[in-house]
A and B are shown apart, each in its own frame.
Chain A
Amino acid sequence: MVAGISSNTRRAAKVEKTPKVAGVATWVDDRTGIATAAKSQIRKVFPDHWSFMLGEIALWSFVVLLLTGVFLTLWFKPSMGETVYDGSYANLKGIPMSDAYASTLNISFDVRGGLLMRQMHHWSAMLFIAAMFVHMMRVFFTGAFRKPREMNYMIGLLLLMLGILEGFAGYSLPDDLLSGTGLRIADGLIEAIPVVGSYLSFFLFGGEFPGDQIISRLYAVHILLIPGLLLALIGAHMLLLVYQKHTQWPGPGRTNDNVVGFPMLPVYAAKAGGFFFTVFGVTALMGGLLTINPIWMYGPYTPNQVTAGSQPDWYMGIAEGLLRAMPNWETHLAGFTISWNVLIPGVVVPGVLFTVMLLYPFIEAWITGDKREHHLLQRPRNAPTRTAFMVAMITLYGVLWAEGGNDILALVFHWNLNYITYTARGAVFILPVVAFIIARRWCISLQRQDQNRLLHGYESGIIMRSPEGAYAERHVPIGVNEAYELTARDRDPVVELPPEYDENGVRAPRSRAERLRARLSQFYFGNNIQKPTAEELEEAHEHAAHELEKASDGHQHLHGGDYTGDYELDGTAADGHQFDGRHYVDDEELRGH
């Protein structure tokens, strides 16, 4: 299973320790039979790339959340019972407030390390959700969601959604003015649900908003229900990752059939374990140095107060933007009210976006008709339409996010608030399309550049002068390793419709689905640059060799650059490089000068 294990340390491993390890291992294996599973997992190979670390940030910040969260539960009182504050924060002394808010103040001001843990908890929540977002985009851009990893991608998206819900629940717990306003908005969203809205609201809040139940209920959701689900899903996510083995970037020796990298023990144990401490440490520094959610400045919740410039945590910004951008449509029909102005941004759009993202792997697989297993990652440029789709989604997210802070934008830049909103209403439809087109063309241009590198080599920066006085840049063939990396990708087969009539002239009806797929396939892959075939590459190289041969007479015939003729060059580099243009320079380096 594992080939080529070797140690590069120059000392022999200490043999005398082995019996002790073996003794413990025997004891455990006698009771669990774990050796069968462990023998291949202990030295399991993980490929290395910086982008594989993004999911790890999410994982470790979740652990930090669990640890700091447990600390906070020791003092937090999830109750809306009324109390009069008598702690050490002078500005709020004597003010009636809920136990939840008072105990949060207590954690912040009267428990040593309490404020640190609160801020670490909040910062790691930000980090958790942000890391999941970026990790998801990495997986999407590189095609890591393709078979056999569709399920793990879907689990990941669920984790993201649950993480956002978990964040919102936790944010609401202190029962301060800001988070209470968030709950008031959530109540408005629930009430807008047709038929059962007001009932759901009364059940959730234990009566009329704000009631005296919501904090303790959200507490159960926040520390038990959702973390349990998150843990289970993270477990499944990791198990599938281990079973399917991590994807890797293609390269010399790195194929669809193997994994090249470092063993779990000791390298990844040390790197990943070390990275846990790094994430934890950075979170602690943030908690110590950067204030977050200073609830004592907001005051206790009361339904008739609000602060101008109220903003939710960043991950709710898109929901906020949707609410703000939506036109004020409402239907009154036969004595009933349908609040499109709340339903569409609150329920319909997020639901549609999430569903599209969830189904994307299957949509793409249906269009490509590809049923193979994919363990090699794709560069984003090599899937232009997919990359452009994600860029469009990011653009949509960005527009809504900015619209979610339209009052802040208006204040900071002295823009007209109403115009920002009108602009956003148009921009949510226009900008994603523009971004899509630009990103796709950009990808295809990059593919062209790769193609040029493969066929004509790279621009050496050496300017050659011909006897006639014409100047041209020398192109030098790239090395075989780079050439392999550039070609180690699939072609994109465009699905074509079968002929309408078979060879006997009998009309073969084509289904609507087939026609749709052919059109989508053309849209997806029609403009992509395919990697050269062996013949094309051969031809290009022969051409280059021919040029070099011709140069053996002391002259050189170059093509490329801005001029296309077959000028005869005298082979003198204009800037005195040692590249004389007469032989391949694969392994040569520039003279230091």
Chain B
Amino acid sequence: MPTGTDVAVPREGDTVIKAQTEADPIADPGLPPHVPRPTDVDERSEKRAERQVAALFGFSMVCAIGFCVAYFTLEIGDNPTVWLGYGASNVILGLSLGLALLSIGVGAIQWARKLMSDVEIVEHRHPIASNEESRTEAVAALSQGISDSGIGRRPLVRNTLIGAVGMLGLPVIVALRDLGPLPGSKLSHTVWRQGMRVVNDVAGTPITPDDLQIGQLVNGEPEVFFENKPDGEPKFEGTELLQAKAKAAVILVRMRPQDIHPAKGRENWGVEGILCYSKICTHVGCPISLWEQQTHHLLCPCHQSTFDLANNGKVIFGPAARPLPQLPLQVDSEGYLVAQSDFHEPVGPSFWERG
């Protein structure tokens, strides 16, 4: 049984414990005597404390009523009551509710501190463990139960039971199958196709090279997001639109052609110094938007990965590992910027089978 004295139990095995302890150098002087509070000995002081507590509880009632009054008198919605630039309803409801609750709390604590007995009570600890007898009985009962079941003697029953319960894991996992479709190759493709116009992401207007100044960045989207089906419904809407956007969002930047150092095979991916990159960060997928036109760097606001757009979207800082995918551009017969093809690699965050 554990004791409160300063004696360490030597460990089993060969190790010995240095600095084995002696008895406490100073004997326990015992609990100091109780010192009465003013409220214990002075009736006036006791009465005052009583009045304080009651006043707090009374104030709480006032605040609760104040809450109800504020609820019905202060307007919200289209024509809210505003005080000092704040929505009066929220402020007054919060204040009245807060003070109503706080007064009860402070009152109760004051009651406990000033008026309830503050004589300390000593309670002895019981050992956490059961006594030896109970333990022996419990172990005996357990052994009896196990032996009665015959689980040790009948390995065939035991093993098939383990197998059966284990097999139940399969239905559990299989039943979750319909949580979502399989990824297939969805992560590897976007809606970009050869000849699809790059349009302004707000207005949906197509863009000509002359629309971009040198150093300018424009957020782009595929034109298909703004097109309608023959029946007049948009081709993409709701969830489908968000899913497609999450991969197809692009940025157009225009730099001086002599600043651009295209990689081999990308020499003709730009139009008059205009390049198009995926807007989705290759780290964990945030849309990238902070453009430093002097350095041609594009910074992700989430984790500060920085890409050099004059150098094929190369990562020059931050946790992203892969360059920003580039969308090959050309102009169509009407002089608008269009894609030469889809991206040549999956956009967005890395995943296992991405390659």
Contacts and interface: CB of A to CB of B under 8 A. Distances in A.
A499 to B, nearest CB: 9
Interface in A245-277: 245, 252-263, 266-267, 270-271, 273-277
A304 B287 contact: yes
Nearest to A278: B105
A253 B28 contact: yes
Contact of B2 (A109, A310, A373, A484): A373
A204 interface: yes
Contacts of A495: 11, 15, 17-18
Interface residues of B, number: 120
B312 interface: no
Given A303-B245, A417-B304, A281 B91 contact: no
Contacts of A302: 242, 245
Given A1-B123, A202-B182, A278-B102, A484 B318 contact: no
B322 to A, nearest CB: 7
Contacts of A255: 4, 28
Contacts of A35: none
A493 B121 contact: no
Interface in B156-190: 176, 179-183, 186-187
A543 interface: no
Contacts of B89: 112-113
Contact of B243 (A1, A209, A278): A209
A197 B119 CA distance: 61
Interface stretch (B109-117, B145-153, B266-274, B333-341): B109-117
Contact of A5 (B24, B121, B128, B304): B121
Contact of A323 (B108, B122, B303): B303
26 contacts: A45-B122, A80-B239, A88-B76, A187-B285, A188-B283, A202-B183, A243-B128, A244-B128, A266-B112, A267-B118, A275-B105, A277-B101, A281-B100, A306-B302, A326-B319, A327-B319, A328-B283, A336-B352, A337-B355, A339-B321, A373-B2, A418-B317, A484-B28, A488-B28, A518-B15, A534-B26
Contact of A262 (B4, B121, B301): B121
A155 interface: no
Given A2-B123, A277-B102, A256 B4 contact: yes
A342 B284 contact: yes
Contact of A330 (B116, B122, B350): B350
B122 A6 contact: no
Contacts of A288: 90-95, 97-98
A337 B121 contact: no
A7 interface: yes
Nearest to A43: B121
Given A115-B87, A271-B112, A330-B350, A493 B180 contact: no
B231 interface: no
A505 interface: no
Interface string A438-468: 0000000000000000000000000000000
Nearest to A373: B2
Interface stretch (B30-38, B209-217, B324-332): B30-38
